[in-house]
Amino acid sequence: MLNDFILRVINPVHLYKIISLNRNKNRVSRTYADEQLKLYSQITPNGFLHYGYFDDVSIDPKEISVGMIYRAQERYAEVLLEKITNQNDEILDVGCGMGGLINMMLAKKLKPVALTPDKTQIQFIKEKYKNTPIYGCKFEDTPHSENINRFGTIITSESLQYLDLDKSLPLITNFLKKDGKWIACDYFKINNQGEKSGHNWEVFEEKLKKSGFKIIEKTDITPHILPTISYLYFMAVQIGLPVLEFALDKLKVKKKGIYYAIEPFVEKIYKKLTKNIQTIDPELFKHSKMYVLMVIEKV
C-alpha cells in the first residue's frame, strides 16, 4: 500500500490529477451535489435534516440516544404542523430535505409541494412520493407566473438561512394567497461571535417590514434544540477526537512510512476539526444564535 501511495505521488500524471482535483473541489456546486446532506440522510432515516425539538430542555447529553434524536426530529415537525391553519390549500415546503415533513403532511391529508435544489433529494422525493409535485431548483429560481397566489402556507424549516432575502421575500409575497401564512423556523445571528451561518436577526426584521410582512407569532425555541447540539458536541469531543488520536498513534507505530507521509498535514487536520466542532459548541451557540419559530403574514 505504501509503495502504491509513493508511486502515485511521484508519477507526474497522477500528481497533476491530484493537484487538479484539489483545485477544482470548490467548483462543484454544493447546492446540486451535497454529499454532506446525503450522509445526514443516511444517518437519519426518518427523512429529517434538522436539529429536532426536545420537550425536556434539561436532559443530559450523555443520556440522549439516537432514538431520542429521531423522536425529537419528529416532534420538531409536529410543532411546525400545529401552526398550519389552512388545511385545504397547497403547502410549499422550501428546502424539503429527504421529505420527512412531506411524509407527515401526507399522513394528515394535506397538500404538500416539495422544493429542493439537491439532486439526491430530488431523486428520492420523486421515487418515494410519486404524486407530490416537486420543484428541483433553488427557491429564488422557482417559476413565477404559475405560482402567483397559489399557496395557503409556505414553510421554510432550516432553509431560510440559505435564501437570498432580497430575492426571496418578494417571491413569498407573490406566492402566498391573500390570507396565507409563512411558517419560518431557523436560527439567526444575534452578535458577531461564533459561526457565521444564518441571517442577522435585526437585518431580517427590518427587511420583513420593508417587504410588507408582519410577525404574528414568535417563539424562541433555542432551549429545545440545544440538547441535540449538546449531544453532537459531546460525541465529537468525548469520542470522535480520542478515536482519531488513537488511530494516528497506531498508524505512527504500525505504518511509520504512511504516518511520515501525512505528518505535515496532521496539525492542519486537527485545526480543521477543532473549527468544525466549535460550530456545535452549545455554549457558543446559545450566546451567538437565536433559534426562532415564527408565523408571518402579509400586511
Residue 6 lies in a domain: no
- Number of folded domains that form the chain: 1
> How do residues 111-141 score in pLDDT, each as one tens digit?
999 999 999 899 999 999 999 999 999 999 9
Residue 277 lies in a domain: yes
Residue 22 lies in a domain: no
Provide the residue range defining the domain that includes 124: 30-299
Query: Of 105-109, 209-213, 243-247, where does mean pLDDT reach its minimum?
Result: 243-247
Q: Are 68 and 55 in contact (CB under 8 A)?
A: no
Task: Collapse the DSSP code of 232 into the 3-class scheme (helix H, G, I; strand E, B; otherwise coil) and give the result.
Answer: helix
Instruction: Convert 148-208 into a string of H (helix), E (strand) and C (coil).
Output: CCCEEEEEEECCHHHCCHHHHHHHHHHHEEEEEEEEEEEEEECCCCCCCCCEEHHHHHHHH
Residue 70 lies in a domain: yes
CATH code of 44's domain: 3.40.50.150
Q: Give the C-alpha separation, 154 to 255, whole Å.
A: 55
CB atoms under 10 Å from CB of 108, counted, come to: 10
For 83-140, list the strands marked E by DSSP: 90-94, 111-115, 134-135
Say whether pLDDT at 5 is over 50. Answer: no
> How do residues 145-204 score in pLDDT, each as one tens digit?
999 999 999 999 999 999 999 999 999 999 999 999 999 999 999 987 766 789 999 999
The predicted model scores a pTM of: 0.81
Q: Give the C-alpha separation, 57 to 297, whole Å.
A: 29
